[in-house]
Structure 1
Amino acid sequence: MRFPTSTQLFSLPLRSTKPPFLRASLVYSRMASSSAFQALKDSSLIKTQGFIDGKWIDAKDGGKIIVTNPSTDEELGTVPEMGVAETKEAIEAASKAFKSWGKTTAKYRHDIMVKFFNLMTENADDLARIITLENGKAFAEAKGENTYSASFIEWFAEEAVRTYGEHIPCAFPGVRNVTIQQPVGVVSILTPWNFPSAMITRKVGAALAAGCTTVIKPPPETPFSALALIELARRAGVPDGVINVVTTQKNVSEVAKEMCENKIVKKVSFTGSTPVAKLLTGMAAQTLKKVSMEAGGNAPFIVFDDADIDQAIEGAIACKFRGTGQTCVCANRIYVQSGVYAEFASRLADRVAQFKVGDGLTDGTTHGPLIHHRAVEKVQSHINDAVSKGAQVLIGGSKLPRPGSFFAPTILSDVPSTALLNTEETFGPLAALTKFETEEEVIKLANDTDYGLAGYFFSRDIGRVWRVAEALEVGMVGTNTGMISQAQIPFGGVKESGLGREGAHGISEYMNTKFIAFGGL
């Protein structure tokens, strides 16, 4: 299997005409300077090196990756352009550390993780500021991500002391059947840029709690959040070699291949697009590693005639425009029943018109930029395609004429089923509305996709609530809510949206069940 080049890999589906008129104008806020790292309360959280075996190191060849602020296109700093040699070194370090970390008590790991959680809470403003500078999301939302991110460390600290085995009654006298849970070993972790902190702790938290050691490849767009977390983990007492970080961009193909095929690695956990998930799964299959793949989404969002429209509007705002539409569980296709279609479209447009788009560190900003200009191009292509097939632009519809990768929050009405956005994840601030008539019709439309991560619907009919929740072919359903993400839930999808679950039950993905029969009793 041939792995894509770095350019191809990061241009795979992201998680990845002028409008005829504007329904209302948007208010845009002033940009902040990329020098804002200087405003951190603890500037030592900014690390510009990779982390292997407890040491901050540069790339062996001195290569660098330039990290930019998507709000300004200004350089924030650099991190090492590492390669296979550094990756092998990180895997070896993790393997050495596993010999002791894997034998620590659950209580010992719990206590370190509680310290880690407390440090994340104490440094919440700095961690949020880093997220905003490299990812672009509004500061208030970045603080929310840090809270969400820390909740995984807290949750899995408690899970560590609950990794129970079981006693199984035996049919033979004098024999006792028991099972125990043991850590799988070294884990490779590959994460995306849209939640630069939470996507790391959701995986690292489970790995640490289970007794595993890790090698992390953060995205080149948002490495500083990852490195800041690892600095806090180090301060919390995580031993050398238990967490290692390899930063790369141009060498991503080779690094990912090593992380998946190296025999020392026993599990691969990835969040990102479905095409990349398939490639990584194929590589991991060469040695039959355990895998967790949280891949692409194409979430339906359904509003029935009997819905509470106020509730549905709030749900759409939270679900569709969180992270400026750059979340794997956000609404990608919005289906509204004919009886409330006009009211819903009008009121949603009124709400979106109130957004304040700008630099995330500016007071009052509600929505930041997209991660880079390729993301802008993708959103524009989806709009152009839908309009060419009969869709109408209610508001927005184009990139904002300013530095950075800002795109106007957009609502399209009368989107036909043939529009490209119905089969591809847009990953941007584009709400595409389609009218439907019957429950049977919309269930068919909602399930007409290869993906099955999340789905949402609004209805006050209790019978319909159960029917639709069970009928949607997704791993997670939001009923009368647009927000489902929590540390306590089993997060994951069906069909081509992935394998395994994170969050609740997620620790089992990092452990092996061993059966022991005790005879001679």
Structure 2
Amino acid sequence: MIETSHYPPLALFIDGAWIGAKGRRTHEVINPATGAPFAHLPLAEAADLDLALASADRAFRLWRHAGADQRAGVLRGAASLLRARIDAIATCAVLEQGKTLAEAKTEVLMSAALFDFYAEETRRLYGRVLVRPTGQRSMVTSEPIGPVAAFAPWNFPINNPARKLGGPIAAGCSVILKPAEEAPASAMAVVQALVDAGLPSGVVQLVFGVPDEVSRHLLASPIIRKMSFTGSTVVGRHLARLAADRTIRTTLELGGHAPVILFDDADLDRAVPLLAASKFRNAGQVCVSPTRFYVQDAIHDRFVAAMSERIGAIRPGDGLDPQSTMGPMANIRRPAAVSALVADAVAQGARLAQGGEPIGQGGYFWQPTMLTDVPATARIMQEEPFGPVIMTARFSSFDEVVEQANRLPFGLAAYAFTENGRRANLIADAIEAGMVAVNTTAIGAADAPFGGVKESGHGSEDGPEGVMACRITKAIHIA
């Protein structure tokens, strides 16, 4: 039995106070390694949301005037606390989301690095002075946009909340965060680090609840000035419509279906281990996961053989087991969804080279899977599988693969491997995606914008863009 004694009591955080489950509706938190519930999460009612809104409004009127040193001190202090508490936070993430302990610890460190970067960005909120005749001044400045409603998914239960909180806090905004109900303790730990680092009461509210109830209530309020959402394209469209009713500014990081282009001069000895590690981390439940592998004819079979060997070495298992190199999928919905996509691909002529079945050891485990020669008409080539599945298709020419890579309405991440410098430049320019990685899979960093184009959303988190997304531009003219 998995040890859960260190898992904290679950609570909402509203108006500077933790509020437990007594007398409230609750949501069962499931351990994906066992499929069994082990905790109960309180869900917010309308009155809780009204209190959170009022508190965020009051806190914004104070926090917007906080100096760079105060904002930076809170963020830097929270980063230090996250690092100090890494073992406890990572263990909670494994219990509720399933990823391996090593991956969860990496996620804690990513969140700390992001807070440290945002701490420095508080000093770089520059404006500019325009050229005017003597005695006149025209300036362009920025100021905090106001209270932010932020919605985070379950796949990165530590880093997603950190992203949603860090940018607004650095910008001088208050935030009402609704993370995923599947993984609440991880988000609580991020909020607790900020509070313990000296964040004033009310600047952050943490609520859980029935998603549609919470989103409709928050986005209908005149207090909310910005909405940030990470999740599926379908839900993102719905929230964007709600935000549009009040002309709320939005940042949307939605679904992807990342193409991977391997030209015939690719260094497979380097590319294969990089791609295998990136594809199967978090059991493939990553929005920027390399997914559609377009492999040039001359190296296709060699790539399949090398990747098959890598896949065979993956050890699925409980994320707290140090021998495991891939954890379970996060919830009961994911294995069924992946199974349907794999079955459809095989029915349409794809070859199942590896895996393709659930692992019958309890929980939501799925074999690392590779499908080859998958037709473009297969559902899995249209719909993001969000699971541990690689699909390959062959290509001959540059123009052909660009057309295939860009044919879907998604444009979050893309990858390419080639040893030809000119081709690297051309493919980076030709791909329609918010983030393109050439000869690497490192596509995110604290100082780099993270976001997509087309139906993968708009706006960016991380980098200076993540702070400026929470500020508005003001022109001031003095004569």
TM-score, scaled relative to structure 2? 0.98
Deviations 1:263-294 (A, max 9, x none): 10000000001111111111111111111000
**What's the counterpart of residue 473 of structure 2?**
513
**What's the counterpart of residue 483 of structure 1?**
442
**What's the counterpart of residue 29 of structure 2?**
67
| Closer/same/farther in 2, CA of residues 199 and 114 from structure 1, 3 Å limit | same
Contact 2:405 2:431 in 1 (8 A): yes
**What's the counterpart of residue 13 of structure 1?**
none
- Provide the rounded CA distance (Å) in 2 between the counterparts of 1:305 and 1:106: 51
Please give the residue correspondences for 1:43-192 in structure 2 after superposition, counting only pairs within 5 Å.
Answer: 46-58=8-20, 62-170=24-132, 172-192=133-153
Contact 2:369 2:389 in 1 (8 A): yes
**What's the counterpart of residue 405 of structure 1?**
364
Which one of the candidate residues 182, 187, 208 is aligned to 1:226? 187
Amino acid at match of 2:142: Q
How far residue 59 of structure 1 moved from its aligned partner, in angstroms, is: 6.0
- Provide the rounded CA distance (Å) in 2 between the counterparts of 1:499 and 1:363: 38
**What's the counterpart of residue 21 of structure 1?**
none
Contact 1:318 1:483 in 2 (8 A): no
Secondary structure in 2 aligned to 1:167?
A: strand
Please give the residue correspondences for 1:268-417 in structure 2 after superposition, counting only pairs within 5 Å.
Answer: 268-417=227-376
Contact 2:10 2:21 in 1 (8 A): no
**What's the counterpart of residue 211 of structure 1?**
172
Contact 2:79 2:111 in 1 (8 A): no
Deviations 1:139-159 (A, max 9, x none): 011111111111111110110
- Provide the rounded CA distance (Å) in 1 between the counterparts of 2:191 and 2:165: 10
Deviations 1:273-321 (A, max 9, x none): 1111111111111111111000010110111100001122023213311
- Provide the rounded CA distance (Å) in 2 between the counterparts of 1:49 and 1:373: 24
Contact 2:273 2:310 in 1 (8 A): no
| Closer/same/farther in 2, CA of residues 60 and 98 from structure 1, 3 Å limit | farther
| Closer/same/farther in 2, CA of residues 487 and 47 from structure 1, 3 Å limit | farther
- Provide the rounded CA distance (Å) in 1 between the counterparts of 2:98 and 2:58: 38
Aligned length: 478
- Provide the rounded CA distance (Å) in 2 between the counterparts of 1:314 and 1:342: 16
How far residue 460 of structure 1 moved from its aligned partner, in angstroms, is: 0.5
**What's the counterpart of residue 456 of structure 2?**
497
User: Which 10-residue stretch deviates more, 69-78 or 288-297?
Assistant: 69-78
Contact 1:315 1:480 in 2 (8 A): no
Secondary structure in 1 aligned to 2:225?
A: strand
How far residue 483 of structure 1 moved from its aligned partner, in angstroms, is: 2.3
- Provide the rounded CA distance (Å) in 1 between the counterparts of 2:329 and 2:30: 12
**What's the counterpart of residue 253 of structure 1?**
212
- Provide the rounded CA distance (Å) in 1 between the counterparts of 2:15 and 2:262: 52
- Provide the rounded CA distance (Å) in 2 between the counterparts of 1:376 and 1:285: 35
Contact 1:60 1:86 in 2 (8 A): no
How far residue 61 of structure 1 moved from its aligned partner, in angstroms, is: 5.1
**What's the counterpart of residue 16 of structure 1?**
none
- Provide the rounded CA distance (Å) in 1 between the counterparts of 2:229 and 2:289: 19
Deviations 1:448-502 (A, max 9, x none): 0000001001000111111111000111101001221111111111101001011
How far residue 60 of structure 1 moved from its aligned partner, in angstroms, is: 8.3
TM-score, scaled relative to structure 1? 0.90
How far residue 242 of structure 1 moved from its aligned partner, in angstroms, is: 0.6
- Provide the rounded CA distance (Å) in 2 between the counterparts of 1:214 and 1:202: 12
How far residue 400 of structure 1 moved from its aligned partner, in angstroms, is: 0.6
Amino acid at match of 2:256: G
Secondary structure in 1 aligned to 2:308?
A: helix
- Provide the rounded CA distance (Å) in 1 between the counterparts of 2:410 and 2:46: 33
Deviations 1:420-441 (A, max 9, x none): 0111010000011111111111
- Provide the rounded CA distance (Å) in 2 between the counterparts of 1:332 and 1:426: 8
- Provide the rounded CA distance (Å) in 1 between the counterparts of 2:440 and 2:243: 36
Secondary structure in 1 aligned to 2:175?
A: strand
- Provide the rounded CA distance (Å) in 2 between the counterparts of 1:465 and 1:149: 31
Secondary structure in 2 aligned to 1:356?
A: coil
Which one of the candidate residues 201, 212, 216 is aligned to 2:162? 201
Amino acid at match of 1:352: I
**What's the counterpart of residue 37 of structure 1?**
4
Q: Give RMSD over aligned pairs.
A: 1.2
How far residue 201 of structure 1 moved from its aligned partner, in angstroms, is: 0.9
Contact 1:292 1:509 in 2 (8 A): yes
Contact 1:324 1:370 in 2 (8 A): yes
Amino acid at match of 1:183: P
Amino acid at match of 1:361: L
Amino acid at match of 1:402: Q
- Provide the rounded CA distance (Å) in 2 between the counterparts of 1:85 and 1:301: 48
**What's the counterpart of residue 198 of structure 2?**
237
Amino acid at match of 1:166: R
